[in-house]
Structure 1
Amino acid sequence: MSGQRVVVIGGGVIGLSIAYHLAEAGGDVTLLERGTLGSGASRATADVVRSYFAGNPVSSALAVRSLDAYRAFPARPGMDLPLRQVGYLVLFTEPGQVSAFEADLPAQHAAGVDVGLIEAEEARKLNPLVGDVPLLAAAYSPDAYISDTTAIVTAYARAAEREGAALRTGCAVTAIDPEAGRVRTAEGEIAADAIVCAAGAWSASLVRCAGVDLPLTEPIEQELLTTDPLPPTTPDIPVTLHAGSGLLVRLRGDRLLIGMGYPGPDREAWRREVADRLAEVYPSLAATRLHTAVTGLRDASPDRTAFIGHRPGPPAFLYATGFSGHGLCNAPAAGELVRDLYLGRDPGMDVTSLAVSPRRRG
């Protein structure tokens, strides 16, 4: 693809991974970001990379492939990343949750995920903060790491620039004309042999310009909370999800980082609900105060699985969006798949399940 000009729209971790992989393959890559790099969904993550996504073996397969790439970062693209292995624990308090896990397990193993069912006693040993909830069993996957999203964004940006990509920030895309291979910005038009939409929450209108009907939901505002400093005797724990409520916690320094779904219009009511669930599952933390840690807009798909696909050219149009909070865990694989789709290479996995289809429109 030497000499072919590719414009990537979106400077989050997905867009930067794509820019790096295309530039490494010889493309003349320009990335356009409306704000600063990593200023969208990439700034509202829990800094966790993991491979197990319950009930979603497609996302799990992308995450397994991506985790391999993160581990190999010192060799390619040649940069160190913080990766502290902590494991991922899912607490089951209802029989139906256990049954659903067991039904999903063969597909997860086929996707390459290391996950299994453990007894309640073992789960409490892994996370001693869990209180006297009616714990039946738990899922445990050792392949979960605390990383640093900003470090990953920076690493991909530097790697992409080293391969010759141009990264333009503060440059919002106003429209695209894939038929003519033109990308319009407030600063003028850019000609392209291929256009890649990786604009996250701002993708919907751009993919419509290309005649691709992706059933993206409205952008969702994510909020993560944090506690006051915890006692120095607080044990290290896995990233832990309470399946019944969606309460997700992990240690970040001397505090707990907390997520639980999305705030919705009544943010105060949501925060009270988070506090109630935290006190229920972790009673020793019932008196701790909660504070906003970070907020940001997320793209979302109806089935919480990314849309990755292409419309062959020339000029070509490709898309990678709708990651539904899985972007950090899926980014390396997304970059590889977009590169392979554009170059006509074997992507090494069935990408038809990621493209838009009548089934995925629901």
Structure 2
Amino acid sequence: MSGSRVVVVGGGVIGLSIAFHLAEAGIDTTLLERGELGSGASRATADVVRSYFAGNPVSSALAVRSLAAYHAFPSRPGIDLPLRQVGYLVLFSEPEQVSAFEADLPDQHAAGVDVGLISVAEAKERNPLIGDLPLAGAAYSPQAYISDTTAIVTAYAEAARRAGADLRTGCPVTGIDTATGTVQTADGEVRGDAIVCAAGAWSASLVRCAGVDLPLTEPIEQELLTTDPLPPGTPEIPVTLHAASGLLIRVRGDRMLIGMGYPGPDREAWRRGVAAQLAITYPSLAGIALHTAVTGLRDASPDRRAFIGHQPGPPAFLYATGFSGHGLCNAPAAGELVRDLYLDQDPGIDVTALAVSPGRTG
């Protein structure tokens, strides 16, 4: 049996951020990852970091804090992270969507998000690919950047190791015992004064071992599509979401990267739906071939807000999961919050909104 002050379960961008922030604070940290680092949800991202999450100012506040950390990456943890500002555009089809946006706006601004309502004409200026579909308005936030998830994962891993963290890959966790602080793995047991669950789509069974009732959904498979090369002269556009359908697009190199919800059991029907919506929203892309870009499992919470919290010990149990596809945008803040909860420091944010509570059971 080996030991460590804190054992982090999960080696995606969330777990690695946690390991880095703990090790940087001088805490003996061991991270256990079932596969390779960043091989779960962290490999199925659009490489977009943004601050605006509609109807979810708590996630927006975490994202604003995280964006500041990403901008500071050259000095901490020490890598010139690519951050290409493109902006984030949301298209509203119905007046009710505009009303919901306006009702949410004060909380978004209080969270530090730079976002506002723009006209349909301005939306089409920002994204000339938009067709003549009926729109009631749009939201635009300049706080959206194309980055590199692999670079972020690598930076946190290297910095965590430099700070003394032990990162173990190919080490699936089979169970945890919070009474003794023991984590069972195929390679033996690891014991800590605290256990942190950051296992993403594999979190549900682990937190149940700790007696914590997190209402996580079953793991959801995410798929992003890419197109054939785009027509010459295709303009650079903001990351654009069609709110009614969930169609999300961004330019990646000479192609378009596309997401729209989750494929479900009938993947071919889903792809036909994506192609149909793409043709309606962006007529110049009608008929363009679509191919799988990447797939990966995601965790999800009922309110699409992360669960971050702790049960005091010793041994203590902490959790950071349920990010619902927001993990890349929330990772730096999540690492800071878990570190502060473990050290019993002021995290600078009301973490009660992120903890398990009766109001978040869905």
* TM norm. shorter chain > 0.5: yes
Kindly provide the CA deviation profile for residues 117-136 of structure 1, in whole angstroms up to 9, marking residues without a partner as x: 00111110100000111122
Residue number in structure 2 paired with 1:215:
215
Residue number in structure 1 paired with 2:81:
81
Kindly provide the CA deviation profile for residues 170-198 of structure 1, in whole angstroms up to 9, marking residues without a partner as x: 00000101110111101101110110000
Residue number in structure 1 paired with 2:5:
5
RMSD value over aligned CA atoms?
0.8
Give 1:232 deviation, angstroms: 2.6
- 1:230-249 matches, within 5 Å, as 230-249=230-249
- The residue matched to 2:22 in structure 1 has which SS? helix
Q: Which residue identity is paired with 2:47? A: D
Give 1:104 deviation, angstroms: 0.5
- 1:248-287 matches, within 5 Å, as 248-287=248-287
Distance across 2 between alignment mates of 1:78 and 1:348 = 24
Distance across 1 between alignment mates of 2:113 and 2:232 = 34
Is the 2:65–2:333 contact (alpha carbons within 8 Å) kept by the matching residues of 1? yes
Distance across 2 between alignment mates of 1:31 and 1:190 = 10
**Is 1:351 matched up with 2:354?**
no
Residue number in structure 2 paired with 1:66:
66
Is the 2:4–2:190 contact (alpha carbons within 8 Å) kept by the matching residues of 1? no
Distance across 2 between alignment mates of 1:198 and 1:136 = 40
- The residue matched to 1:192 in structure 2 has which SS? strand
Q: Which residue identity is paired with 1:85? A: Q
Residue number in structure 1 paired with 2:90:
90
Distance across 2 between alignment mates of 1:193 and 1:329 = 29
Give 1:76 deviation, angstroms: 1.1
Give 1:231 deviation, angstroms: 1.9
Residue number in structure 2 paired with 1:184:
184
Kindly provide the CA deviation profile for residues 54-108 of structure 1, in whole angstroms up to 9, marking residues without a partner as x: 0000100000000000001111112111100000000112111111100100010
Distance across 2 between alignment mates of 1:257 and 1:301 = 25
Moved more, 4-13 or 345-354: 4-13
**Is 1:102 matched up with 2:102?**
yes
Distance across 2 between alignment mates of 1:255 and 1:135 = 25
Distance across 2 between alignment mates of 1:149 and 1:233 = 27
Q: Which residue identity is paired with 2:39? A: S
Residue number in structure 1 paired with 2:327:
327
Give 1:260 deviation, angstroms: 0.3
- 1:116-155 matches, within 5 Å, as 116-155=116-155
Instruction: State the TM-score, normalizing by the size of structure 2.
Output: 0.99
Residue number in structure 1 paired with 2:304:
304
Distance across 2 between alignment mates of 1:353 and 1:195 = 21
Q: Please identify runs of 4+ aligned residues in structure 1 that moved more than 6 A.
A: none
- 1:36-75 matches, within 5 Å, as 36-75=36-75
Give 1:111 deviation, angstroms: 0.6
Q: Which residue identity is paired with 1:99? A: S
Q: Which residue identity is paired with 1:183? A: V
Kindly provide the CA deviation profile for residues 177-233 of structure 1, in whole angstroms up to 9, marking residues without a partner as x: 111011110110111011000000000011011110000000000000011000230
Q: Which residue identity is paired with 2:325? A: G
Residue number in structure 2 paired with 1:175:
175
Q: Which residue identity is paired with 2:184? A: R
- The residue matched to 2:233 in structure 1 has which SS? coil
- The residue matched to 1:193 in structure 2 has which SS? strand
Distance across 1 between alignment mates of 2:79 and 2:344 = 28
Q: Which residue identity is paired with 1:218? A: E
Give 1:4 deviation, angstroms: 6.2
Residue number in structure 1 paired with 2:361:
361
Distance across 2 between alignment mates of 1:168 and 1:80 = 26
Across the two proteins, how many residue pairs are aligned to each other?
Answer: 360
- The residue matched to 2:258 in structure 1 has which SS? strand
Distance across 2 between alignment mates of 1:139 and 1:280 = 20
Unaligned residue ranges in structure 1 (runs of 5+): none
- The residue matched to 2:215 in structure 1 has which SS? coil
Distance across 1 between alignment mates of 2:131 and 2:183 = 55
Kindly provide the CA deviation profile for residues 305-352 of structure 1, in whole angstroms up to 9, marking residues without a partner as x: 000000011111100000000000000000000000000000001000
Distance across 2 between alignment mates of 1:282 and 1:19 = 42
Is the 2:78–2:155 contact (alpha carbons within 8 Å) kept by the matching residues of 1? no
Is the 2:4–2:191 contact (alpha carbons within 8 Å) kept by the matching residues of 1? no
Q: Which residue identity is paired with 1:40? A: G
- The residue matched to 2:96 in structure 1 has which SS? helix
Q: Which residue identity is paired with 2:186? A: A
Residue number in structure 1 paired with 2:113:
113
Q: Which residue identity is paired with 2:122? A: E
